[in-house]
Chain A
Amino acid sequence: MPTTLHDVVVIGGGIVGTAILRELSQYKLDLCLVEKQPDVCEGTSKANSGIVHTGFDAPPGSIEAECLRRAQRLWPELVAALKIPFLSCGAVMVACSDEEKAIIHDVYIPNAAANGVDVRWIGKEELLERNPAVTSAAIGGLLIEGESIVDPFWATRSFAELAVLNGADVRLGNGVASIGTGSQEEGLAIVLEDGQVIRTRYAVNAAGLWSDEIGRMIGDDSFWITPRKGQFLLTEEPIAVSTIILPVPTKVTKGILLTPVVFGGFMLGPTAEDQDDKWDRSTTGEGMRQIAAGVDKLLPGVSACASIRQFAGVRAVCSAGDYVIRASTADSRVIHAAGIRSTGVSASPGIAEMVAERLEQAGLPLRRKAEARSELPELFDDEAQDAGEIVCLCRSITRGEVERVKRSSLPCSTIDGVKRRTGATLGECQGNYCIPQLLDVLGERGTASSHEPLRPLKGLRQSYFASVGKEEEERT
């Protein structure tokens, strides 16, 4: 069967894959993205601190530092064009001893200078003025004013939505089973789990934790990925801080941070636990104790705050010790965007720019598309009359806000997808009261919309929490 030959297929719908798709959608290219899960942002991208790092502590001369440096330049424009919630709150690395102060002066200030990031030492008075909740045992800290906070899902979804508006094809819920490396004319054959074959001249491997497995599909074992878990705890109690609070890292760990959340509240974590299972996203009593102990060192008593949710994310640790952004050693038509450790959200726009350059070096001509959009339309064109009644009580989310999901250029088929697009289910009840109403509102087959009714699917593939009894009985 003849199929179209795409210019580029991006494998992986996390923040890295979608950032690359957005970047490439500015050029005259036939693009496709494949994602195994039913929605974008279902892996490492969804469970992290949301910090947009400046790269002040990145190893100078690394690909990671270069991507972070580029991203620092690109983020402000992206945030404005795509209406991404963004908080320029800054960060303070708090020192509680002369020894820690010495580490800041000997290691971090020179490192930041090497990476071109502005930092300055602040005394105890300024530190406590900015962050009254910090321990009085602090003697000062390193202020990194450029550190910011973003909503990782919003960013990921916006990247994908813009690319779709520019003509890219996003295929959700279908993973890559194998990759055939045929001739130059036939292109690469990306075989999906359901048997579909997508032909493409180039492919980008942005499969996150699974990027080593994608590499092996074409006989490339030049790097491998091991999973590292980070547990987090979310609280919405008021805490008197205005910046991200970082401890001085030890040789073993970067430590437990406190990070403001764009939509309110604070995230405490992460732990850093190497494990074997890429799918183990469980929290543990020990992890919660580590977070409590870590946070109380810098912010006494904060561990006693009530938590409305705890979760764990798994990040990629790469054998290369740095990002792997280059053509595959096995087939130069496959460009890796792999080994993206915990700085993926921060670096994603820079990674995208670098991947575009690698594609060009591999022989793909990049010609600007004059009609390409770079902006998303304003989402909150609130017309009070079509807002309707409250659907999510904890967060005061209206029927109108939920119905808006149907108008997105990126289809939404899961409860978690609705959550990340509207804020519903994020409150105290964790969705136990509004999920039936979300199913009611989005279950009505919209005549003006091509969207399928919302299914009782939580987030991941096969994460059904209910089935439609009658239909199932009739079928079996």
Chain B
Amino acid sequence: MESQGEADVHAASAGDSAAFGRLYDRHVGRIRKVAQWTLGTSNVDDVVQEAFFRAWRKLHLFNGSATFSTWLNRLATNVFLRARKRSSRSRSSLVPLGEVASPPLSVVRRPDQKVDLERAVEDLPARARLVFVLHDVQGFLHREIAAQLGISVPASRSQLSRARLLLRRSFETEEEPS
């Protein structure tokens, strides 16, 4: 039996914008956060919209060999990485994380573990954050990350290790053995 998500993907492929709206609701939170982490800015409305618009236009290419979530995440990541390349040529257009109190960051922040970790990811050094997001959040392989970022595979692994160890410090107090 087809799940609601699968039914929405089929309906959206046939042009049902309401079904695509439900897919949007289901995925936009994660996509938005990945955009913020990838680009290092809170100001991601345009690029997130571009990712979903591109997904809408390319839905006919989705063949179900991966999950819709995986397909969408990869498509969106490519959009974000291209935007990142463009923005690196005009760095002044980037607003560093933490300097903009735009939603949803300012709205969802609460003193709980989930948000503390989100914050800790934002505070990572840029390269380590990018590798962590691509590998651990988005599921890219090191060789894919290396190719995308123009770094070596060992460098990608090293940045991932650095990111995880820094994030782990967020829990140091409760994790350390007595």
A, B co-complexed: no
Q: Which residues of B are at the interface with A, using a C-beta cutoff of 8 A?
A: none
Residues of A within 8 A of B (CB): none
